[in-house]
Amino acid sequence: MKKLEEYVRSIPDFPEPGIIFRDVTSVLQDADGLHLAIDEIMKKVGDEDSFDVVVGTESRGFIFGMPVAYNLHKPFVMVRKKGKLPRETVSREYDLEYGTASIEMHKDSIKPGQRVVVIDDLIATGGTVEAAIKLIEELGGVVVKVVFLMELAGLKGRERLKDYDVESVIQYPGN
């Protein structure tokens, strides 16, 4: 069987010269690659008794977090871009490379004291997941683990999340 890294297609000079884009769609488009990705994320998540709920960030966090929640019979909570959720929400603004963005979650999606695992496809600078963690904590949740499929270690997102248990399946040394 192939290693998971072999399913990730690396695209040089995208979106600009000098950047190597790590394309997760090549993992999703291969049944073996997708199966392996979910299995490896589940290994990083660990003991199902150590948490109560899985949170995924829009949109690829949904793709990878949902099967984990399903397999472990846990609820799944979506963190979405601002304006996409129909009920009362809490929101958080965070910095992007060129500006800001906002994410939200339903105000009743996390109960005080719930232990939470956050799953996303990629950690780069860590800004999106840091904002999601702040929303979870605002609602009284406790983030017990954060799991990524891929990590761009050169962008130091792990340092931004240094107070949390962060795991990644694949680590790329650069950005």
pLDDT given at position 119: 98
Pair type for strands 166-172 and 76-81: unpaired
Three-state DSSP class for residue 28: helix
**What does the pLDDT profile of the chain (175 residues) look like in tens digits?**
799 999 999 999 998 898 889 999 999 999 999 999 999 999 999 999 999 999 999 999 999 999 999 999 999 999 999 999 999 999 999 987 778 999 999 999 999 999 999 999 999 999 999 999 999 999 999 999 999 999 999 999 999 999 999 999 999 997 7
pLDDT given at position 96: 78
pLDDT given at position 113: 98
Report which of 18, 22, 2 is spatially closest to residue 10, judged by C-alpha positions. 22
pTM attached to this predicted model: 0.95
Burial 77-88 (b: 16+ CB within 10 A, else e): bbbbeeeebeee
CA angle 43–63–73, rounded 5-degree value: 55
pLDDT given at position 90: 98
pLDDT given at position 170: 97
* 167 has catalytic annotation: no
| Amino acid at residue number 161 | L
pLDDT given at position 98: 73
48, 58, 60, 115: the catalytic one is 60
* 9 has catalytic annotation: no
pLDDT given at position 135: 98
Residue identified by tokens 């994410």 is 103
